[in-house]
Amino acid sequence: MALHDTYTLTVSCADQSGLIAAITGCIAGNGGNILNLAQHTATDIGMFFCRISFSASGGNPGAEFSEEEFKKHFARVAETYSLDWHIYNNAIKKRVAVLVSKTSHCLYEILLKHADGDLDCDIPVIISNHPDLAHIATSFHIPFYQVDPNKGKAAYEADLNGILEEYNIDLVTLARYMQVLSGDFCRKWKNRVINIHHGFLPAFQGAKPYHQAWKKGVKIIGATGHFATEDLDQGPIIFQDVIRVADTQSIEQFIDLGKDVERRVFVEAIRRYLAHAIFLHEGRTFVIE
Amino acid sequence: MALHDTYTLTVSCADQSGLIAAITGCIAGNGGNILNLAQHTATDIGMFFCRISFSASGGNPGAEFSEEEFKKHFARVAETYSLDWHIYNNAIKKRVAVLVSKTSHCLYEILLKHADGDLDCDIPVIISNHPDLAHIATSFHIPFYQVDPNKGKAAYEADLNGILEEYNIDLVTLARYMQVLSGDFCRKWKNRVINIHHGFLPAFQGAKPYHQAWKKGVKIIGATGHFATEDLDQGPIIFQDVIRVADTQSIEQFIDLGKDVERRVFVEAIRRYLAHAIFLHEGRTFVIE
Amino acid sequence: MALHDTYTLTVSCADQSGLIAAITGCIAGNGGNILNLAQHTATDIGMFFCRISFSASGGNPGAEFSEEEFKKHFARVAETYSLDWHIYNNAIKKRVAVLVSKTSHCLYEILLKHADGDLDCDIPVIISNHPDLAHIATSFHIPFYQVDPNKGKAAYEADLNGILEEYNIDLVTLARYMQVLSGDFCRKWKNRVINIHHGFLPAFQGAKPYHQAWKKGVKIIGATGHFATEDLDQGPIIFQDVIRVADTQSIEQFIDLGKDVERRVFVEAIRRYLAHAIFLHEGRTFVIE
Amino acid sequence: MALHDTYTLTVSCADQSGLIAAITGCIAGNGGNILNLAQHTATDIGMFFCRISFSASGGNPGAEFSEEEFKKHFARVAETYSLDWHIYNNAIKKRVAVLVSKTSHCLYEILLKHADGDLDCDIPVIISNHPDLAHIATSFHIPFYQVDPNKGKAAYEADLNGILEEYNIDLVTLARYMQVLSGDFCRKWKNRVINIHHGFLPAFQGAKPYHQAWKKGVKIIGATGHFATEDLDQGPIIFQDVIRVADTQSIEQFIDLGKDVERRVFVEAIRRYLAHAIFLHEGRTFVIE
């Protein structure tokens, strides 16, 4: 949960000695009080990833935290160690758009979790290529826009971009949104579009993954939350979950069972994004929790 | 568990009305007492699968069960309904060969489960293309044969077949056996060779599946027990299991974690075979438990 | 799913030979066509449980199924074998009331699954001791009644019973309903009230189970769907599920995580009731799926 | 895995600001290079727990790490913040004794994981109150001692203590060891005896937990790894796992299924101990991974 006056700092870099002491020393030296530190060195590739949450108050007495000052000081640390870093003021909530088509279970899930105070973001707008789910947006008091895909991909995505910009959207989430996005769109929103695929990637890419799974006779089915890229169902994976199925179940039952997995994967992928827990390196994620 | 004087009957056929009453009626009429009945109609393909365990004693008083008589009577039912059927005398244990290479966890698992009375079969022989695991065979008092793959595939498999025939083997199990079997061998032993693949098929076929999985950044890894076919890692799937992994884990840890999944999948696939629970139809299994 | 012209027959009795043939023979003899048969013999207690779904059409040509005739014929079979049996016409949907207080996740779950065609029942009424969730009932177009617990237990439950009778309710479901029901009420609705307890019973009975679990330092938490009885949290268990927790999580997080388990357990317990899959024997259930 | 020249430092204390910077600063200042840091603030009780692995080489150039010097310097930090701390030289392996009775699955599990290089400890001795499992010790080349419980609890435990001391044992593990230990023994070995209980504690304490579970009709069974205390089955919980069971399974099957859970819980509890991941506070553990 976002706490007033707290910040989250993410750092990734080539592994080297002294990193944690340098980073935490700079925070302490600027009057920050570390609340939580998660860190991982991926020895297979020699990379260091770190996420630190700290409070601007309650640190060393005498030191008063200033975001501007900290950034200046930390930039020097970053230069020394060639860090890739970001700092987030946790009081500023991310603005998340939900794109839907006709299926409601992922939309309901994000709205219910959000209403329950369980997702730390704003959801200012819902966009669809179909009118079917407008009533859900209405009952949650969120503006609903229907965009017409028949006007051609370019015009359609121009409309989409217009709405996303109007609402200052940080993250686009595809809640079983059945419309392929263009390479241009994916590049413009790179690493800021989370899609849910109703199959356990990299198996069962493309259309009708539950039909594929049933036909193959797999004993476990799943869903995958990933960043959308130009290459369909190939983007970096953020979260996955599975459920055991029986050969006594029909394709129809696979689809029904899959819904619970999909909605969970959808929200858990978004939650990790909002927690700044996702590090990207060479086409895969490192989710550090 | 095999019970003295009990039989298991398996039936598969196109779905039609009256099947269960006809089948169970024939058993009862011959003095059999049904202990367990598992049945499934796969509506997606219009097929009926059924497995019945029954006792030859304890049925209707007056009727004495005779296997020969039953087969004669049931053949008529089978003709009427075009049934594909098999009957197994549960007192006759299946003879299972274990083929290994250098890794011991799947071999230990099957031997320990067997010693625990938890796998209803005989394990009369262990065969390997390496000498490394001979001591395990010794400590479990099971003959161990080392076959030399360097003599050429044909000669090697002739040796293999010789041993399997000498020991009257019903089922060949590949306990992380690192040697590709020829098409001839797979055809000869069709649906009687169970392999364990250390990946969640159909994803991550071929070599080094844990490396593939790590590189792709999947969040769940698995293993697959399947019948070996000419097409590598494409045979009908019998059992699968998975385990959640973290991005903070190395390839080495994936391999270690995977072992527990592999050994479980290996034994569970074999268990389903021994229970006559696997029905094959058009390249996939229907496991009816 | 309820199918037109199909029936479900449940049978429980002391184990004895010839049961399945006698039961299925009677169905076939009356022109019924068996769609699905699930059966279990609990050898630990010598009991036989069986559930059969059959179609009234499509059976043996010439035989036309009549529910009245079947009941007459089956009563004779039942007498011979001392069967406890029930037959359900699947075209007649069960009428389910949902009782709630202030927490919405279980209520939403049952309403969304029902709207999705995933729960085969009618939900004609929602009743609460608080006004908070009225808007959800409204948005799903279901009558909502607020009953005042301050008028005293007897008067309160008289009101409750009045509403349940007015709506011809078959099953009462407690969707995190925070009001203890009297012994009289539990006896009147015996085996027809399903409660969800937010703990893994029999551990953590009573109030604040998540606090109890956190304090004890358990590594897995759960929820339990059970029939409500006079003895609080002691009724026969229908379904349970769990989730792994970390010691780095707070009580607050336990409560949040638990919600997903609770809603799933709630709906799965109800689903088993609607499928006539629950057999009761000496204070425990046998759920035969 | 233990790495040459690496140390693990554990710290627990009342939560306060500046802790991480002070701790990591002292390590860096002494020439240590942090490899891994795991930390948790339990806000429910205001406690801070931290585990840091660091290398004595590869730190800041010029600074050469000395264990003695570090301890002196860190003692000052510890005094300032009232830290409870321990430092472990990872080159020194913990010495683990395994106590068994007649059941072999937990014993095999620890021996196989150890042989696989998957448990970072020495296992110098196996002790039993029965002769049955001596052959397993032999085949793994580990001394086996049989101690006679019939000589009376005091004499028996004197023998036990004699062996444990002779082998310089750090941790006593009870691998389904069926003998209640005295309060004296538990106090002497406080927080150094890990037991496996074959039930999901705190439910199903005491004898025959699978029978209890079956009779209650629970749908999930489990096992619990915990520190042994005077109060039977009440010690701090280290690790738990569960498995779903069906009402179609017998008590015998519960026992068989439970074995896989028990052996896994047993080894995972020990693994966490060896990793110095277990923090104890007011009768519960905080396992920080």
Task: Quote ipTM for the complex.
Answer: 0.93
- State the nearest Cα–Cα gap between B128 and chain D, in angstroms: 20
- The pair of three-digit structure tokens given for residue C234, joined into one six-digit string: 């002691």
CB contact under 8 A, C37 and B20: yes
Grade residue A206 by pLDDT with cuts at 50, 70 and 90.
Answer: confident
* D256 in active site: no
- State the nearest Cα–Cα gap between B143 and chain C, in angstroms: 38
Specify the pLDDT at position C1.
41
Chains touching D (3+ CB pairs < 8 Å):
A, B, C
CA of D246: which chain B residue's CA is closest? B289
Look at the pTM and tell me if it is higher than 0.90: yes
Contact status of C112 with chain A (Cβ, < 8 Å): yes
Contact status of A46 with chain D (Cβ, < 8 Å): no
Which letter, b or e, does each residue of C243-256 get, where b requires 16 or more Cβ atoms within 10 Å of its Cβ?
Answer: eebebbbebebbbb
Q: Which residue has the tokens 């076929």?
A: B205
Specify the pLDDT at position A243.
96
Residues from chain A that touch C264, judged by Cβ atoms under 8 A, are 260
Residues from chain C that touch A139, judged by Cβ atoms under 8 A, are 139
Specify the pLDDT at position A238.
98
Tell me how far apart the alpha carbons of residues A59 and C105 are, in angstroms, rounded to a whole number.
39
Contact status of D42 with chain A (Cβ, < 8 Å): no
- A45-71 average pLDDT score: 85
Residues from chain B that touch D259, judged by Cβ atoms under 8 A, are 116
User: How far, in whole angstroms, is CA C19 from its chain's centroid?
Assistant: 27
| Mutation site, A107, A114, A136, A139, interface C, largest C CB count within 10 A | A139
Percent of chain D predicted with pLDDT > 70: 97
Alpha-carbon torsion angle C191, C197, C202, C203, nearest 10? -170
Contact status of A116 with chain C (Cβ, < 8 Å): yes
pLDDT in tens, chain C (289 residues): 445 689 999 999 999 888 998 999 899 889 898 889 999 999 889 999 999 999 987 655 566 789 999 999 999 999 999 999 999 999 999 999 999 999 999 999 999 999 999 999 999 999 999 999 999 999 999 999 999 989 999 999 999 999 999 999 999 999 999 999 999 999 999 999 999 999 998 888 888 999 999 999 999 999 999 999 988 888 999 999 999 999 999 999 999 999 999 999 999 999 999 999 999 999 999 999 8
- State the nearest Cα–Cα gap between B37 and chain A, in angstroms: 14
Q: A219 vs A89, A216, B66, B109, CA distance in Å?
A: 44, 9, 38, 21
Contact status of A243 with chain D (Cβ, < 8 Å): no
* D101-123 pLDDT, tens digit each: 999 999 999 999 999 999 999 99
Contact status of B142 with chain D (Cβ, < 8 Å): no
- State the nearest Cα–Cα gap between B57 and chain C, in angstroms: 9
* D150-197 pLDDT, tens digit each: 999 999 999 999 999 999 999 999 999 999 999 999 999 999 999 999
Identify any residues that bridge with A98 across adjacent strands, giving them in sequence order. A126, A173
3-state secondary structure chain D: CCCCCEEEEEEEEECCCCHHHHHHHHHHHCCCEEEEEEEEEECCCCEEEEEEEEECCCCCCCCCCCHHHHHHHHHHHHHHHCCEEEEEECCCCEEEEEEECCCCHHHHHHHHHHHCCCCCEEEEEEEECCCCCHHHHHHCCCCEEECCHHHCHHHHHHHHHHHHHHCCCCEEEECCCCCCCCHHHHHHCCCCEEEEECCCCCCCCCCCHHHHHHHHCCCEEEEEEEECCCCCCCCCEEEEEEEECCCCCCHHHHHHHHHHHHHHHHHHHHHHHHCCCEEEECCEEEECC
- The pair of three-digit structure tokens given for residue C253, joined into one six-digit string: 């997080």
What stretch of H or E contains B94? strand B94-100
The separation between the first and the last C-alpha atoms of chain D, rounded to the nearest angstrom, is: 14
Specify the pLDDT at position A59.
58
Residues from chain B that touch D35, judged by Cβ atoms under 8 A, are none
Residues from chain A that touch D21, judged by Cβ atoms under 8 A, are 24-25, 27-29, 34
Checking if the pLDDT of B187 tops 60, the result is yes
- The pair of three-digit structure tokens given for residue C129, joined into one six-digit string: 């001791």
